Amino acid sequence: MAIVLGPHQYGKAENRVVRIYRDSPRHEIHDVNVSTALRGAFDPAHLVGDQSAVLPTDTQKQTAYAYAKEKGLTSIEPYGLELARHFVDDVEPVTGARIEIEEYAWERVVVDGTEHDFTFVRRGQEVRTAAVTVEGKGDAQRTWVVGGFKDLVLLKTTGSEFHDFLTDEYTLLEPTSDRIMATSLEAKWRFDSAALESAALESSAGFDWEGVYAGVKQTMVEVFATLHSLALQQTLYEMGKAVLERFPMIVELRMSAPNKHHFLYDLAPFGLKNRNEVFNADDRPYGLIQASVLRDDAPAAGAAWDVAGGFA
């Protein structure tokens, strides 16, 4: 038996880069958490401690900050593309790079009815995400971009049912035709890599990353609100389908939705009727419903979903 080195990668995780645009009195802020991971011929570092091919994780960090100025940091997808392509194209031993980014949104405070130029309040809603993977050099290079969000907490007070489910001797759940539906939605959408390779997607100027993000989020929120739901599973599928119908550059969407249970509280001991008015918001355990929706002619996903390489 011989011991061999398996897949490996290394990088700087969670660089907290804050980029301010202050070229006019009205400042802009972009607040991100960016993690880099490089793949390639790094076996000697593991096997014999030879660092000659290892671009330090500190350098990767410095690059993330330098690029926020040199290349700009507005939409997170093109910022991730710049970083990933730089590592693969310009650093000889690197054959693949994965850049994962979270963005924390700020909105302007309002003073005397006017938006303030340089003071912001953290927006309590979702965290936007992006994951860019670049593999291979030159003509063989392939690129995958996944946009997304997490922690989008949604709740509807009616318009949700759950009944006619399979039962066995352990089933206690009562069917319901009117319940609260709530979740903290995570969604990730894979852009068409072929479209990415076209010139239009090369720069943030050439592609409306912000518009797509806002549109996907709004589409999902609208479906959550308007679909009379028979199960969270159905809601997820309809949300994903609507996104693919409206956004031709997206080929696949993956969703993860904890079912944030709201149990009707028993007020009978107090002689009170509870007509879906008072609930216990339970935090655990929770149902966890996960689904993906894709075009039947979607190109192969390749390394798009290879989140952090699948390492522990």
Ligand X SMILES: O=c1[nH]c(=O)c2[nH]c(=O)[nH]c2[nH]1
- Which position among 36, 60, 129, 259 is part of the footprint of ligand X (CB under 6 A)? 259
Q: Binder to ligand X among 9, 184, 233, 292 (CB under 6 A)?
A: 233
- Point out which span in 3-11, 60-68, 227-235, 272-280 binds ligand X (CB under 6 A): 227-235
Catalytic residue among 30, 86, 188, 261, which? 261
Stretch (H or E) spanning 251: strand 250-259
> Of residues 8, 27, 57, 71, which has the active-site annotation?
57
Q: Which two tokens stand for residue 234?
A: 């159905």
In 10 A of CB 135, how many CB atoms?
A: 19
Secondary structure letter of residue 46 according to DSSP? H
Contacts of 306 (CB under 8 A, 6+ apart): 98, 133
- Told to judge if 261 belongs to the known catalytic residues of this protein, a careful annotator would answer yes
Residue nearest to ligand X (CB): 232
Structure tokens belonging to residue 151: 């922690």
Q: Does 287 bind ligand X (CB under 6 A)?
A: yes
Residue 155 interacts with ligand X (CB under 6 A): yes or no = no
- Counting contacts by CB under 6 A, is residue 232 touching ligand X? yes
CA distance linking residue 146 with residue 93, whole number of Å: 25
Residue 307: closest CA among 131, 143, 151: 131
Do 217 and 242 meet the contact criterion of CB atoms below 8 Å apart?
Answer: no
Annotated binding site: 57-58, 162, 179, 233, 259
Give the span between the Cα atoms of 59 and 12, in whole angstroms.
Answer: 9
Chain-centroid distance of CA 293 in Å reads 15
Residue 189 sits at φ, ψ, to 5 deg, of -125, 135
Which CB atom, from 138 or from 285, has the smaller least distance to ligand X? 285
Q: Smallest gap, in angstroms, from Cβ of residue 232 to ligand X?
A: 3
Regarding 76 and contact with ligand X (CB under 6 A), the answer is: no
Which C-beta is closer to ligand X: that of 172 or that of 312?
A: 172
Site string for ligand X, 172-211 (x = CB under 6 A): -x--------------------------------------
231 binds ligand X (CB under 6 A): yes
Contact residues: ligand X, CB under 6 A: 162, 173, 231-233, 259, 287, 289
> Catalytic positions, please?
12, 57, 261
